[in-house]
Structure 1
Amino acid sequence: MLNDEAIHKSSMSRSIHAKATRQPFVVSSKVISIAIVPLFVISQFIRSALPDKYFYDSTSILNMVNGDTQEYLQRDSTYRATADFYRVMNVLGFDTLQQWSIALSIIGCLMLMPIVLRLPNLCLLDTLLCLTSIALLNIYVFSISKDMIQFIVFYCIAAILNMSNRRPVLAASSAFLLLITEAIFYRSYYLLVAIVFILVVLMLLKIRSKGGKTKSTLRAGFWFIFEVVLIVLVMLVSMKVIAPNLYDQLVSVRDETGLSRVGSTDAQTVIINLFPGDGIFVSLVNWFVNGLRMMIPIELFFKGKSYILFIVFQLLIVRLYVRNLGDYGGSVRNARFFGFCLFTAYVVVSFFFEPDFGSWVRHEVAAFPIFCVLLKQ
């Protein structure tokens, strides 16, 4: 009996050891939070070495804050609102991009600390996504720009969504109102993001009411994308009938901003519609094709080795999104559900507007607080 008991204990020990060895490699959120400081320092050096073309908008906003009345009057209302925002903030009298970058990076990194610390233990690829995002935020977003304001809006929305387990309707409506507010003052197309956000929420609620969750992630993804395409089609038809001027602006904005930049050394990654025309069907096809190009930017392989990191970053985001697609963001009383709906709305609208891959990654990484919501269980 002693031998049998010893054999049984030995077998149990081997089983426990085998299970332990099969555990995936995970990284604590504390490790990521510690990495924020060195990433801040490294990013400042990288930022200072980048050419001026990456900071045209920031330079323009800085000039307006510094009192350039002519540029202030030439710019549209959203740029003037942005300049006014930073002028009110400028209690220390900053007058250079570097001063603003350092100050806003410090503020941004302090804001990142609590949301990063609330993350669960992450696998290696999710950790890489977080570290890359933090670096990109410090390089491109934490500066005197609209993108910093966009980051703050997403930060507030993420905080609201984290309360959705208690009051999901209040969380969704508050996020909707914040998007509308940003549309009024900073980026008008956020009105479309707000509308599509509510439509995606209603669509998923309808799917769930019909017994919604399918066992096949592939099948779930197919039907979800199909219904999103239907939402976009209905939106295009409605705009064509009700507001034809807005429809014309929507379907022509990419060509208007991109065609004149083709061949420019400052626009190596410009995104041009592959199919000419402004009809509903052609516009829908261009939207879908451009969406695939932006989410899986394989074409950048042929533009130089320097774009490989961006491709990796984008594929990591797609991986995170597909993982959430498998269960539609989880329970309706889960912040992840609304985060999934919001990010879906954000990319759906961005497929119409983003002029090049550079601005796409800059605008996308500003949604990092929403990534953190999607990373939760």
Structure 2
Amino acid sequence: MKPLKISIIFGKNNKYRFNAHSSFIIWLILLMLFPVLAIVKEDILPKYFFWDANTIYAFMKSGSDFAHGDSFSSTAAFYNLFSVDRYSFIFPLISSLIIVYLFVIALKRSMAKEITLLEVGMYLFYLMLSVIYMTLLSKDFIVLLVIAPFLFLAKKGIKGLLLWSILAMAYGYFYRSYWFIFVCQFWMMYMAFGIVKKPWQVVCVVLVFLLLLAIAFHVGLGVDIDRFRTIINDMRIETQDANAKTNTMITSYIPGGGIIISWLNVFITWLMLMFPIPLILALSPYYLVISFFIIFLFVRLWKVVSFCIGHSEAKLLRAVACLIISFTTIQSIFEPDYGSYVRHLSPFYPLCFFIIMGLKAYKNERKLISNQQEME
């Protein structure tokens, strides 16, 4: 595989491009650092990063088995199946290599020929988060394994997407029941792309889906749809460090209850997941960095959405964009805090870079073809 060339842009017209050999050395050094980070992360990061891992390990020691809707029990059973040791360096090493490989493959399949310095920074930042969150006992690494075949299967068209949906629902059965809703949202989004003409209409599709869910939660369960975040967060505060959770807790923005207010709250939450104003207002350097990269990511995502609406042939980009939008829609209901949001989104980061870089490659290819046609 040829190394992706790094382009550093100064202003509008000044660009410095590393040659293939220099780019290879840079990538090799950078990517070798992440397995090291995976091994030493628990020695340098706060303990609250690893609460879930400790809980899963306790389930592993009790001999838990796969169980419908019991995420901790099923996760423990998965790691027991492979005899994973909580304190061994082997699993962090192997899982970090898998994560790095998937990030590299995402860039390779995007067909991008170069990458800017800002994109490199974003790439490495999200790779760092992925290594921190998914090289320990976690459900998120299992999600990564479920997400990994998506690019391959999506290229097969509807049949491939149906096969992936079955895999996703199998995960939902044992781990997270809301994945059934996630799969439904994905298909609604995917089909809607054949109808919508503007990006704002895609937002309207999300609004309609959330309204249907708000009605279903209220009528079927007797609970307002945005109440779930509060319930989840209250339970976590009782058992963990309250300060760590309340700092980034996702709250209801409009006081009151009922279908309409709860529907508007989850919609506003969805917007705040992409443009995290609450994190920015915290004025923490750490939160500001995270906010910058989240905004940068979703600004690029919506550029992909806008492009896919006008180019029906870009089916793979469309499928990946629908997947990410659908997952963030579901997160607006179930995520109690921004820390959980960033962690649970981590399995999707390779796909995020695929469409970001893939859009650039697609546009460059179309421009090249257009220039060749004009010359002829």
In which range does the TM-score fall when normalised by the shorter chain? 0.7 to 0.9
| Match of residue 55, structure 1, among 36, 50, 57 | 50
Unpaired runs of 5+ residues, structure 1, are 1-20, 213-219
Would the aligned equivalents of 1:101 and 1:144 in 2 still touch at CA under 8 Å? Answer: no
Partner of 1:235: 213
| Match of residue 174, structure 2, among 165, 185, 203 | 185
Partner of 2:7: none
Partner of 1:15: none
Indicate the percent of aligned positions where both proteins have the same amino acid. Answer: 20
SS at 2:252 equivalent = coil
Partner of 1:157: 150
Cα distance per residue 1:63-95 (max 9 Å; x no partner): 222x235x88999722111111111112xx624
Show the 5 A alignment for 1:352-363.
Answer: 352-363=333-344
Amino acid at match of 1:52: K
1:108 to 2:89 alignment: no
1:131 to 2:111 alignment: no
Partner of 1:226: 204
Amino acid at match of 2:51: Y
Would the aligned equivalents of 2:69 and 2:172 in 1 still touch at CA under 8 Å? Answer: no
| Match of residue 81, structure 1, among 57, 74, 85 | 74
C-alpha displacement of 1:117: 3.1
Unpaired runs of 5+ residues, structure 2, are 1-11, 363-376
1:248 to 2:194 alignment: no
Partner of 2:366: none
Cα distance per residue 1:167-212 (max 9 Å; x no partner): 41112212322221111111111111100000111111123xxxx3
Judge which range, 281-290 or 101-110, deviates more. Answer: 101-110
Cα distance per residue 1:11-44 (max 9 Å; x no partner): xxxxxxxxxx947667888555662212332454
| RMSD of aligned Cα (Å) | 2.9
Tell me the TM-score normalized by structure 2: 0.79
Cα distance per residue 1:108-132 (max 9 Å; x no partner): 3344443333341223333222111
| Match of residue 296, structure 1, among 243, 258, 275 | 275
Would the aligned equivalents of 1:100 and 1:143 in 2 still touch at CA under 8 Å? Answer: yes
SS at 2:244 equivalent = coil
Find the aligned partners of 1:115 and 1:324 in 2 and give their Cα distance: 16
Show the 5 A alignment for 1:1-377.
Answer: 22=13, 32=27, 35-42=30-37, 44-65=39-60, 67-68=61-62, 77-90=70-83, 94-96=85-87, 98-119=89-110, 120=112, 121-161=114-154, 163=155, 167-207=156-196, 212=197, 220-241=198-219, 244-245=220-221, 248=223, 250-259=225-234, 261=237, 264-267=242-245, 268-303=247-282, 304-328=284-308, 330-332=311-313, 334-375=315-356, 376=358, 377=362
In our comparison, the structure showing a higher alpha carbon Rg is: 1
C-alpha displacement of 1:300: 1.9
SS at 1:183 equivalent = helix
C-alpha displacement of 1:225: 0.9
SS at 1:188 equivalent = coil
Judge which range, 146-155 or 294-303, deviates more. Answer: 294-303
Find the aligned partners of 1:179 and 1:144 in 2 and give their Cα distance: 20
Find the aligned partners of 1:160 and 1:26 in 2 and give their Cα distance: 34
Find the aligned partners of 2:67 and 2:74 in 1 and give their Cα distance: 13
Would the aligned equivalents of 1:101 and 1:143 in 2 still touch at CA under 8 Å? Answer: yes
